[in-house]
Amino acid sequence: MLHLPQRTHDDKNYLDTPKPSSLFRKPRLSWKKLIAISLFIMFSFAFTVRKGFLGRLQSFNLPPPFRCGLHTQKDLGGLQTHYTLPSGSKIPSLALGVWRAPKDKTVPAVKTALDSGYRHIDGAWIYRNEEEVGQALKESNVKREDVWLTSKLWNNFHAPEDIEPALDDSLKKLGTDYLDLYIIHWPLAVPKDEKPANYNKNLTANPYPTWQKLEEMVEKGKVRNIGVSNFNIRRLQNLTANPLKVQPAVNQVEISFWFPQVEMLEFSKKMGILLEAYSPLGSAERVEQSLNVPEVKQVAKDLGMTPAQVLISWHIQRGTVVLPKSITPSRVIENIQLRKLPESAFEKIENAARAHKPQRGSNPSHNWGLDFDIFE
């Protein structure tokens, strides 16, 4: 224990001001050691600046909250560029979705996105284009640690013993040793090599064993965040009622002007689960209709934006990650040239979206031959 000299009435400032002689004491280290230490500090500082401190942290298998991520996305005109997940990771608010992107169009689309400032690519094993996403990343000038990569666990791999091989397959195709986010694609567990109609009722009703294996993937460092997709409120409550080691970071669901998911948005904010909006311009069949909504067209005209830019900005302003998809270079670039809407413009679109009956654009329950509605 350090013993300080007693303060006396004659020396009341003794502890507050060092004695002059103490300022000129000889260093205890030799000049050689001092030089070595100085050089070490200089080189460490230079290395840290060059690589980026947060980027270096991400390259190690560190526990939260150190896995902050860098993923420096282009400025979005006053819109929120990132959201912070429970792990401390910062997920970019805008992503290029590659659903339905043909293999021969995926590489140029992803490279255009990265060159334009995107730092978030949303993919999945079932999209059958992960190799092309990996190729685009390899050919780009953007480092792996600066790009947020998402993939998804397909229905046939929910059994705990099938999860890691499925994940490893995605990692191999993407050319990386970790994912920033891995999502349960659908709340439907189907035995390997079986059709959806032959689903596993127990594992579908209770996905906790699947989730426990995903938590193990986080512990192994193969995945940094885990989440779900297409889960309704009841399914989220059912999953989170278990003693989870890792909470769901996101829920990726269909959200558009036609299907604004108001109740889900409010519930998710209370639960601390970030929503990700797929089909943000409406399903493929409704994009043109979305871009011709009178309120959207008027706001676009008033602000000198395109209707697509207005709707994408609206999504981010609501507090969601937005996942527009396109393989057309000009549209990929257009979709990141965003800016925050004035409050009156935002309210105009929000009120119009809430004024009609919600209309879901996609429900695979019938085509999969299920004996229930997957969204109920």
Catalytically annotated residues = 127
**Burial (CB count within 10 angstroms: exposed 0-12, middle 13-18, buried 19+), residue 157:** buried
On the CB side of 128, CA atoms within 13 Å amount to: 5
The single residue listed with the structure tokens 């558009």 is 256
- Residue 352 CB partners (closer than 8 Å, separation 6+): 257, 293, 295, 296
- Residue 75 CB partners (closer than 8 Å, separation 6+): 81
Q: Tell me the C-alpha distance between 176 and 164, whole Å.
A: 15
- Residue 4 CB partners (closer than 8 Å, separation 6+): 15
Q: Tell me the C-alpha distance between 118 and 231, whole Å.
A: 27
Output the CA torsion 264→275→317→89 (10° steps): 150
Residue 80: strand, helix, or coil: coil
DSSP 308: H
DSSP 66: S
Number of H helices, E strands in the chain: 14, 10
Q: Tell me the C-alpha distance between 93 and 143, whole Å.
A: 19
Q: Tell me the C-alpha distance between 195 and 192, whole Å.
A: 9
Residue 97: strand, helix, or coil: strand
The H or E element that residue 313 is part of is: helix 307-317
The single residue listed with the structure tokens 């910062």 is 90
